[in-house]
Amino acid sequence: MSRTPSADALAVFHALPVTVDVVALTVRDGVLCVLLIRRLLPPFEGRLALPGGFMMRGEGLGDAARRELTEETGVDPVPGHLEQLASYGPGGRDPRGDVLTVAHLVMAPDFPVIAAGGDAAEAAWHPVSTVQGALAFDHDLILADGVERARAKLEYSPLAAAFCGSEFTIAQIRGVYEAVWGVRLDPRNFHRKATGAVGFLEETGQVSSGDAGRPAALYRLAPQSRQGDGPTTAAVLNPPIMRPASSPAS
């Protein structure tokens, strides 16, 4: 297939419609939830789907993902907490024809969904376990990949704090790990690991109020100094907080 670009025109090449989709995850009442919209228009009219839509001219991938998320759900992700997940397509995923989609992943605290707009109605958080298999397009696959990525990232990055507010207790952040991984962790050993990881938590001096039992110290995420030697290296948790080895296939 010899292709001979006659000049500096790219128009001779096959061009594709490109969308961005967003897997926005949070933890509500100890349950891992994903932000979904209900589609107003065909295809898959009335079905649940990830927020997303077509890219606009002159936009970057991350910009488009942030714009679609805000347009359709009212959620405005904290900068730095949106990362690229993977690309899907272009064939076999939209009945209208070939569409390439670049999926993104956002971890957000459980703030209320402000609005639904654009092609979307009913933007809302749904427990991940209740929507698997029910989504439009290939969004079930994308959601599964996003959840797996989030699970893996908890181990070696300070990402879990993104699910909490700006100040949180050790028990709250432990609840994030338990919800995302679907396991129970020993509160006492977790406390040691979390407070022992360098560059993860920073004491505020405050204590939590209200609940039964002894008040817990409040922490915030420590200022993230990028480690490693590459420009693409993200902040790293050291030592990592590993998920328990799942028992061999039963």
Residue 129 engages a copy of itself in binding (rule: CB under 8 A):
no
Residue 51 engages a copy of itself in binding (rule: CB under 8 A):
no
Helix (H, G, I), strand (E, B) or coil at 234: coil
Residue 189 engages DNA in binding (rule: CB under 7 A):
yes
* Tokens 């703030």, located at residue: 111
CA atoms within 13 A on the CB side of 135: 25
Binding partner of residue 41 among DNA, a copy of itself, none, CB cut-off 5 to 8 Å per kind: a copy of itself
Considering only residues 196 through 225, tell me which ones interact with DNA, judged by CB under 7 A: 207, 211-217
Q: How far is the CB of 147 from a copy of itself (least distance, A)?
A: 9
Cβ-proximal residues to 40 (8 Å cutoff; 6+ apart), any chain: 119, 120, 121
Residue 28 engages DNA in binding (rule: CB under 7 A):
no
Q: Is the bond into 239 cis (omega within 30 degrees of 0)? A: yes
Give which of 151, 70, 169 is closest to 111, Cα–Cα: 70
* Tokens 């979307």, located at residue: 120
Residue 167 engages DNA in binding (rule: CB under 7 A):
no
Residue 80 engages a copy of itself in binding (rule: CB under 8 A):
no
Among 32, 34, 49, 55, binds a copy of itself (CB under 8 A): 55
Q: CB nearer to a copy of itself: give 31 or 61.
A: 61
Residue 227 engages DNA in binding (rule: CB under 7 A):
no
Q: How far is the CB of 217 from DNA (least distance, A)?
A: 3
Q: Which helix (H) or strand (E) holds 83?
A: strand 82-88
Among 129, 166, 195, 246, binds DNA (CB under 7 A): 195
Per the CB < 8 A criterion, the answer to whether 123 and 26 are in contact is: no
